[in-house]
Amino acid sequence: MVSCKIVNALYAAVPSRVFRDYLIRTHLEKCDGCQARYISRSEAEALFIKPGNANPASGLWEKIECQIGQEAAVPEQRLTGLRWEWAVGAVTFLVLAAASFWLLRGVQTKAVRADYIWPAGHFGINYINVGGAPAQAFVYQPKGADIIIVWAEKKS
Amino acid sequence: MDEQGIIKRCLKGETGEFRQIVNQYTPPLMAVAMTVLGNRQDAEDICQETFIQAYRHLSSFDTEKSLRTWLYTILYRRCLNAAKRKKIFSGILNRLKTEPQTWTPTSDPGPEEQLFLPPGLYRTLSPKERTVLSLWANDGYTAHDISEVVGCSASTVRVTLFNARRKIKAFLENKHGVMQNC
């Protein structure tokens, strides 16, 4: 038929999935003449191996059972292991956090008062007023850095 | 007992119940795996891996859906991976071989490489096409069902299926014609 020839020519010429699907649904699936160019379900069924002839060698279930039996025991251990790992991690973090906090406090207490370091010709503070009254001042100079930090607080 | 009941009991830890699922679905899964891989031993290995993976992820299975389709989906992905591995491995082996190899499609494959389709079809059809055809022919799956297994749209499956059907028809006609000429 002319329409079949046109459809088949279009199918071959236009490699668009959507267009080909349209041609299949509208013509190729319904046309007996075109269906003759394709293998039928019964022919394909005869060609392919059938489930009835595809039995595996014995022992497939035993292998599967062995594997899943092992895995059934493992998750509990794995979970316990994970809990321990989390606990150790959390404790380590807390210890490190406490140690860091303590060390930083130590640095603050070791800070030298401003009036104790007066590197002549470099840096000096006579006094600092906070709120109109002399304040307590601390000077920090990190090692190897070119910055000086001055901390002033109101005397209590 | 119905499948949902079996699955519930499996999830409670009764691994023995899973045997019913294995016994029921091994033949169809084996048929597809053998069609895709062309080797019984590989197919058995893939089936075993499929069931183990299914058991591991049984809790994520939607019981409203078809268990058979879900198992086919797992099997298909594993078959594709196995086919890729096999292709890479055989490519390496071919490079290592120094003697030229001749291969005749009509030669009888040994027990190690037992083919379940005419040898020419393994070269003609891709693993995806073989899967689609096997599901369509053996299980009566529609394009929509197959699309769930292979993970693409129904229209893509329809086109793939038609192309594969045409390739087989042409192959068989060609083969038959050659035989007649002989």
To the nearest 10°, report the CA torsion of B85, B88, B93, B97. Answer: 160
Q: From B140, which residue of chain A is nearest by alpha-carbon distance?
A: A41
Q: Specify the DSSP element, H or E, that contains B130.
A: helix B127-138
pLDDT for res B148: 93
User: Which residues, in sequence order, are CB contacts of A108 under 8 Å at separation 6+?
Assistant: none
H/E element, A136: strand A133-140
Name the residue with higher pLDDT: A82 or A29. A29
pLDDT tens per residue across span A19-72? 999 999 999 888 888 888 888 888 888 888 888 777 776 788 888 888 887 766
For residue B114, the model assigns a pLDDT of 55
Q: Do residues B66 and B60 lie in contact, with contact meaning Cβ atoms separated by under 8 Å?
A: no
Q: Do A45 and B159 touch (CB under 8 A)?
A: no
Contacts of A130 (CB under 8 A, 6+ apart): A152, A153, A154
Percent share of chain A, pLDDT over 90: 8
Mean pLDDT of A2-26: 88
- Closest Cα of chain B to A55: distance in Å? 5
A126 at interface of B, judged by CB pairs closer than 8 A: no
Whether A33 has its CB under 8 Å from any CB of chain B: the answer is no
Whether residues A41 and B137 touch (CB distance < 8 A) is answered with yes
Tens-of-pLDDT digits for all 182 residues of chain B? 688 888 888 888 888 888 889 989 999 999 999 888 888 888 899 999 999 999 988 888 888 889 999 999 999 999 999 888 887 777 777 766 655 555 444 444 444 455 567 777 777 888 899 999 999 998 999 999 999 999 999 999 999 999 999 998 888 887 765 444 44
Give the residue from A20, A29, A64 with the most B CB atoms within 10 Å of its CB, the best one to mutate. A64
Q: Which two tokens stand for residue A51?
A: 């489930």
CA dist., res. A73 & res. A127, Å (int): 73
For residue A5, the distance in angstroms to the closest alpha carbon of chain B comes to 15
pLDDT of residue B113: 52
Alpha carbon of A6: minimum distance to chain B alpha carbons (Å): 17
Q: Which residues of B touch A64 (CB under 8 A)?
A: 18, 22, 48, 51-52, 55
Which chain A residues are within 8 Å of B52, Cβ to Cβ?
Answer: 64, 67-68, 71
DSSP letter assigned to residue A113: B
Q: Select from B26, B46, B72 the residue whose CB has the most chain A CBs within 10 Å, as the one to mutate to test that interface.
A: B26
Nearest CA to CA, how far is A27 from chain B (Å)? Answer: 12
Count Cβ atoms below 10 Å from residue A104 Cβ, excluding itself: 9
pLDDT for the residue numbered B150: 93
